[in-house]
Amino acid sequence: MPNPVAPPLSATTSPPTILVFDSGVGGLTVFRAVAAARPDARYIYLADDTRFPYGDMAEAELVARIVGVIGEAVAEHAPDLVVIACNTASTLALAELRGRFSVPFVGTVPAIKPACAQSKSKRIAVLGTQATVSREYTRALIREFAAGCDVALVGSPRLAAFAEAELAGEPVPDAAIRAEIAGCFVDAGARRTDTVVLACTHYPLLTGRFKANAPWPVEWLDPAPAIARRVADLLSTRRPASPTPPPRIVFTSGRAPSPALAAALAGYGF
């Protein structure tokens, strides 16, 4: 679920530049949806993989890191809009980023409100990193939007790394996937979990694996479509000057992509 704040950008015929930021490759799931909504845009994807996973860092250190890395990218590439395609970075640093920079930011937070609205059993799970599910921000969303709904918070220490491995052509065994998602499935009081919020942008890379290893069918709620709609709304006055989309560029802070990862990135148009 995005954090809408900024007004639409002013009208112009030049294609917009969109910076998509994540700690690794998880933000590609958000990029995919945003690029489908605005295929004309120039895309800069920034993976701060030197410090992946973000959940291992102290909060003050992490905020300083995010603000510094994004500040350099904003200065160098002058984006028209920045998508923070990371739940951890969004819940911690969005306010600081919006206070420091004039460019609009669209963030990512756990989609608890729509999950509870669509759940028929009123039993949902929030599957995220341990850092995301333990933060007060997430618990505040539950208090505000989950009235009448039972919510299981499930923190995984391994799924983000599993997703990185999957995209690089190194899938993990089914048993490892089952162990990480087992806590999402609650069958009590004649009500089963029917919706799982994917509260890490890495996790949609594993949706097929989740479905294959789930004990019963559930709805896996991906925040990317809502983020894409918000981006499209903010850029609604920006029309492309040419039908040919500009090149898409990836920057990493710590590594050059392996051949398998490079091939996967090429599949996203980078």
What stretches of the chain adopt beta strand conformation (E)?
A: 17-22, 42-47, 81-84, 105-106, 123-129, 150-156, 187-188, 191-192, 195-198, 219-221, 248-252
Question: How far, CA to CA in Å, does 128 sit from each of 22, 212, 235, 249?
Answer: 15, 19, 29, 28
Residues classed as catalytic: 86, 200
Q: Which of 86, 28, 15, 73 is nearest to 235 (CA)?
A: 15
Mean pLDDT within 127-148? 92
pTM listed for this prediction: 0.87
Mean pLDDT within 238-252? 76
Average pLDDT, the chain: 89
The confidence score (pLDDT) of residue 264 equals 83
Hey, do 17-108+225-267 and 112-222 end up sharing a CATH topology, with the first three levels equal? Answer: yes
At 155, the pLDDT band (50, 70, 90 cuts) reads: very high
The confidence score (pLDDT) of residue 220 equals 98
Per CATH, domain 112-222 is 3.40.50.1860: yes
How far apart are alpha carbons 80 and 109 in whole angstroms?
21
The architecture that CATH gives domain 17-108+225-267 is 3-Layer(aba) Sandwich (3.40)
The confidence score (pLDDT) of residue 259 equals 79
Angle at 133 between CA 137 and CA 108, to 5 degrees: 60
Residue spans per domain, the chain = 17-108+225-267, 112-222
At 86, the pLDDT band (50, 70, 90 cuts) reads: very high
244 pLDDT above the threshold of 80: no
Q: Which of 199, 223, 209 is nearest to 167 (CA)?
A: 209
